[in-house]
Amino acid sequence: MNLYNLYGKKTKNKMEQEIDTNELGESIVRVLKGIYDPEIPVDIYELGLIYDVMVNTDYEVKILMTLTSPNCPVAESLPREVEEKVKTIENIKDVDVEITFDPPWSKDLMSEEAKLELGML
């Protein structure tokens, strides 16, 4: 599967089909910002749990994410929720969510917005 990082502008495949990665990336980020860690009142995107989002020319998405700890109580349900919600985006054909703990999550990965929300600034 050829994957393209969503932070580029447009990518062309062999048939010169264009994927507007900015628009698709914004749609995916909107969905991710609607998913919350049940123990922390901040969405998973702002928490820094999403490490990378990639899409190929067939609109198949791969999301590399982590959890706040390997023993996280939502270790099974959260990745499944991410997959199901991203699949609802128009034109997305498949979503693969991969969990990694390298690098391990730390508070440094949180956005300024998340830190402010949690009173850490």
pLDDT tens sequence across 50-108: 999 998 888 999 999 999 998 888 999 999 999 999 999 998 999 999 999 999 999 99
Tell me how far apart the alpha carbons of residues 36 and 42 are, in angstroms, rounded to a whole number. 6
Residues 65, 3, 21, 42, Cα dihedral to 10°: 0
pLDDT at 14 over 60: no
DSSP helix/strand/coil, 64: strand
- Residue 51's pLDDT is 97
* CA gap 31, 34 in Å, rounded: 5
Whole-model pTM?
0.81
- For residue 10, pLDDT over 50 is answered with no
pLDDT of residue 56: 87
Helix (H, G, I), strand (E, B), or coil: what is residue 32?
helix
CB 62 within 8 A of CB 3: yes
Of residues 75, 64, 72, the one with CA closest to residue 102: 64
Write down the pLDDT at residue 23.
Answer: 84
Mean pLDDT of the 22-44 span: 91
